[in-house]
Amino acid sequence: MQHDIRDTTAARAVDTFYERLFRSGEAAVWTATDLDVAPDGQAIFFSGQSFNGTLEDGPSNAIYRLNQPDNTIEQIAHGRLYRNAPDGRAAYVEIGSNGEKLAVISGTGSLERIQVDGRIEALAWSPNGETLLLLVADPAADVSGVEGGYAMRAAGSAASWLPEVTTTDAANLWRRLYRWSDRTAALVAVTEPPVNVWEAVWSGDDALLVVASDHHSEGSWYTASVRILDAVTGEERSRHQPSDQVGMPASAPDGQRWAAIEAFCSDRGLVCGSLVVNDAGAVRTVDLDGLEVTDIHWRTASRILFAGLREAQTIVGEVDVVTGDCHHLWVSDQLTIGGWTPRALSVGEKSALSVIEGYASPPAIVRLSGGDPEILAEFAPSADFSVPGVMSHLRWTARDGLEIDGWLILPDGEPNQLPLFVDIHGGPVSAHRNRYLANLRAAPILVDRGFAVLLPNPRGSSGRGQRFARMVKEDMGGEDMHDYLAGIDHLVAAGIVDPERVAVSGTSYGGFMSAQLVVRTRRFAAAVPISPVSNWYSQHFASQIPWFDEAFLKGSPREAGGQYFDRSPVFFANGATTPTLVLAGGRDKNTPTNQAVEFFGALSEAGVDAALAVYPNDGHSLRGYPAYIDSAARIVDWLDRYIPGVRASVADRDTDASRASL
């Protein structure tokens, strides 16, 4: 594989696909996140992305206002995290040429900018609107795997040759809370080390409900607790230690009750599990009939709006935590909401706002009030863009009799003896959902080229209860591996898939599992592990999350043998035959770059046809631009080499036609 593949057929196909999808150069908004509503309900604010220039330039991030009732959209600032105060003021994070600043809009519309030392991760106005709470990550703090899994770089003008230095007593790695108000006109610290705050909301006007640890390391999140802090002094008033992980803290309007989501988790930011409520000091689980919760908002002193998953269904509903009465505003197995997990914003006492999508349905801001969603704004691709293939939900039986499910995308035409691309999700406690264009990268482009795409949810995935999620605990890379093979066997037996033309890929846990399948079987014609783990010993001591492997594997990284050895693909490369392209980010601290390097080295030594591409400025999962586009092109190019009989994509045909007309 060459260093620069931008002039290849695969790269042209990927560029054409994404230029049509993102409407590159048109400054068209193509997605929405982080919704907020004006106090009078007449405007909805959201963060959006647009590609003002080329794909290589990457997206531009801005804040937009969706005006009611005419649903017109206007850009109001370059920034993120727009938050309305009850009295008509607002605050957001302004993105400028010199970095980020806190921007506060007064009631008269004047703008005040405040320099912040670090990255603002959350903003929240107190219920009375007098004080703004900021959650700020220090300049060199780590970000989570779902955000890129790298360490932020503090600004400075030091010589470029100086080393990057890490010490155990570094002081610029914490997450702290600050207050801002008109009275102080400056940021005032609320917490200091050794308190490290991951999430924070107001609990009345004088207290804060937080998820916090006593250490700054990313791994310490896994043992974090829920705490009530004094909103001025940061003094701890109470603490609840969950049995597993906890996230999404939410306080009732009167501050008398709080709620959170407790779950067995693999990633900070991916919390899907049980709704727990603290009532007068007693924490209890709220029964939601098998639904796993991913988002919560209090409507009244006893009613909570929730979003979550139940197998293939995405659900938004409401529960009274006193009476137990529960009803659903919206249920669908054809569409889903939110980003990494389903999210919905409570509006008034009867409605919710969310961003809805489906494989063939582009993102749209909708109001959910019961019945069909009311579309307020839809972010459509260019007129000449068409969604390739059709997605459907699929079930099959694992070798031990357990039912496994996932999503199958079939290209247009007769589904007979097709090449198959298996895309394994990260986590492992996560889930594929019916998201727009299979959540992108290379999958929809491969469907356009005639591939079937399987998006499996093996044991350990979210949405099927905590018992199902824990099935991967102390067995990662074991029985879950056979769930994928059983899914492939199911499609082969149905005559849909050609067993000689199966490829596998995945990111993070999906990268590890892709590598594990490569060295443990000879079932695959090609593989592309992205941000993989290949050696659990070195992973433990180099990763930002050493807690992770000790939770998911039996044994110890300080002892020989056990799962740290036999679940490490690097030790079993001899005998592997699958042509393998390994992709990684040079700044990745979640699954450090050396994991990809080690796996490539082991495959090369074993005589396997292999290639390694490391993007020096990217972190975990390669989400930056242009690495994201280039990585998609390299996947398509690699499969073009090793999967015979693949048809040309629409982009290929367009290119051929234009050349013929010259």
Residues in the chain: 662
Residues 360 and 399 in one domain: no
Is 7 domain-assigned?
A: no
C-alpha neighbours within 13 Å on the C-beta side of residue 137? 20
Domain boundary among 380, 399, 420: 380
Q: What is the pLDDT of residue 659?
A: 38
Q: How many structural domains are present in the chain?
A: 4
Residues 364 and 425 in one domain: no
Domain boundary among 380, 400, 428: 380
- Domain with 296, as residue range(s), is 286-380
Q: What is the pLDDT of residue 616?
A: 95
Report the C-alpha gap between 24 and 531 in whole angstroms: 28
Is 103 domain-assigned?
A: no
Report the C-alpha gap between 419 and 417 in whole angstroms: 7
pTM of the model: 0.95
CATH value at residue 513: 3.40.50.1820
Alpha helices for 77-149 (secondary structure H) = none
Is 18 domain-assigned?
A: no
As given in the structure block, the two tokens for residue 275 are 């709704």
Is 20 domain-assigned?
A: no
Residue with tokens 């051929």: 656
Residues 591 and 501 in one domain: yes
Q: How far is CA 520 from CA 471, 515, 516, in A?
A: 20, 9, 6
Residues 403 and 358 in one domain: no
Number of H helices, E strands in the chain: 11, 37
Q: What is the pLDDT of residue 157?
A: 62
Give 365's pLDDT tier (boundaries 50, 70, 90).
very high
Residues 86 and 124 in one domain: no
Domain boundary among 220, 246, 278: 278
Is 159 domain-assigned?
A: no
pLDDT tops 90 at residue 96: no
Percent of the chain whose predicted confidence (pLDDT) is above 90 = 86
C-alpha neighbours within 13 Å on the C-beta side of residue 594? 10
Residues 528 and 443 in one domain: yes
Residues 461 and 596 in one domain: yes
Residues 427 and 560 in one domain: yes
Residues 330 and 402 in one domain: no
Is 10 domain-assigned?
A: no
Residues 79 and 51 in one domain: yes
CB atoms under 10 Å from CB of 152, counted, come to: 18
Residues 493 and 352 in one domain: no
Residue bearing the bigger pLDDT, 408 or 1: 408
As given in the structure block, the two tokens for residue 363 are 């993102």
Closest CA to 14 of 442, 344, 359, 422: 442
Is 638 domain-assigned?
A: yes
pLDDT digit string, tens, across residues 317-335? 999 999 999 999 999 999 9
Q: What is the pLDDT of residue 185?
A: 77
Residues 370 and 263 in one domain: no
